Amino acid sequence: MKIGAHVKTAGGVDKAIDRAEEMGAETIQIFSGAPQAWRRKEYRPEEVETYQARVAETGIEPAFLHGVYLVNLATDNQENLAKSLDALVHDMNVCHLLGALGVIFHLGSHRGAGYDQVFPQVVESVRRVVEATPEDTWLILENSAGMGGAVGSKFQELGRIIREAASPRVKVCLDTQHMFAAGYDVKTKDGLEAAMSEFDAEVGLDRLVAVHANDSKCPLAGGVDRHENIGEGHIGLDGLRNVISYPAFREVPFLLEVPGFDNKGPDRRNVEILKGLREEAGLP
């Protein structure tokens, strides 16, 4: 199990590796550009070479990209849907350039229309992105907290999309905070076992390729996407200890998306806490 974090790319994509090294991260997640804008970042060959050289030097891999927050495959606005598809295709191509595994992204919100209403469009959108992008990249659906009609808070919703999209390149990243907010009690061993049994039945453990390891400012089933530092939230150290030691997660990269103890994002202290839980579980 590798433990890492979302890191900034300010100053160049290779700087993400520098920041990861400083905090002790073993794997990373990055944005390809500004997370709140459609504007694309194009990478020059020398930038890619420098980044790949730093990866080779440090062994900090695998890498994942996170899709921009504006992506919404459930929107009824066709202009926004087209922009969403373009953004995902762009990021998948960046993954191919950098050697990253895939793009983790939020499916978006139906804004009250209902899951069944938007399901066909979401599936078709997933198919289109996969068909338009390199074979060595994964399109990775992230579970949602369920806030504001967000698609994918329940494993049944993710499973239906994946089965209908019918591509081995469609994978899943599980966010522990989103799971908890959506009503999956990862804090207890019984609750985690029930959640992962449901995930295996609806989605399949073979689809799980990453975990966003976050504590929760939101109580169980609160339906709100609010991350907290490890051990400081409603899941707590005992809950995250359960997650780290659960067999299905042992070979999956863990990525922090926490506010940080200095409110500057994931930091060494959060990484070290997770590493301590990994050591307690007797994992390499």
pLDDT at 284: 85
Instruction: Dihedral sign for Cα 202, 152, 63, 225, please.
Output: negative
How confident is the prediction for the chain on average, in pLDDT? 98
Q: How far apart are CA 210 and CA 140, in angstroms?
A: 9
Q: Which domain holds residue 230?
A: 3-280
pLDDT at 116: 97
Structure tokens at 139: 């399109």
The percentage of the chain sitting over the pLDDT mark of 70, rounded to a whole number, equals 100
Q: Answer whether residue 174 shows pLDDT above 90.
A: yes
pLDDT digits (tens, 9 = 90+) for 78-131: 999 999 999 999 999 999 999 999 999 999 999 999 999 999 999 999 999 999
Q: How far apart are CA 197 and CA 40, in angstroms?
A: 39
Chain-centroid distance of CA 198 in Å reads: 19
Structure tokens at 31: 């944005």
| List of residues 6+ apart from 78 with CB closer than 8 A | none
Angle 60-257-107 from CA coordinates, rounded to 5° = 105
Give me the mean pLDDT over the 7-17 stretch: 97
Give me the mean pLDDT over the 217-237 stretch: 98
Element housing 125 (H / E): helix 115-131
Q: How far is CA 255 from CA 64, 65, 151, 274, in A?
A: 10, 11, 22, 10
Q: Domain holding 250: CATH number?
A: 3.20.20.150
Residue with tokens 């790949």: 52
pLDDT at 197: 99
Which residues on adjacent β-strands are paired with residue 64?
29, 102
Q: How far is CA 164 from CA 20, 159, 170, 210, 251, in A?
A: 37, 9, 11, 22, 27
Q: How far apart are CA 116 and CA 15, in angstroms?
A: 43
Q: Answer whether residue 16 shows pLDDT above 90.
A: yes
What is the length of the chain?
Answer: 284
Give me the mean pLDDT over the 195-201 stretch: 99
Q: How far apart are CA 151 and CA 164, in angstroms?
A: 15
SS3 (DSSP) at 77:
coil
Q: How far apart are CA 108 and CA 105, in angstroms?
A: 9
Structure tokens at 211: 């975990």
pLDDT bracket for residue 70 (50, 70, 90): very high
Give me the mean pLDDT over the 5-16 stretch: 97
Report if pTM > 0.95.
yes
* Count of domains for the chain: 1
pLDDT bracket for residue 244 (50, 70, 90): very high
pLDDT at 180: 99
Q: Kind of pairing, strands 3-6 and 28-30? A: parallel
What is the number of other CB atoms lying within 10 angstroms of the CB of residue 256? Answer: 28
Q: How many CA atoms lie within 13 A of 252 on its CB side?
A: 23
Give me the mean pLDDT over the 208-222 stretch: 99
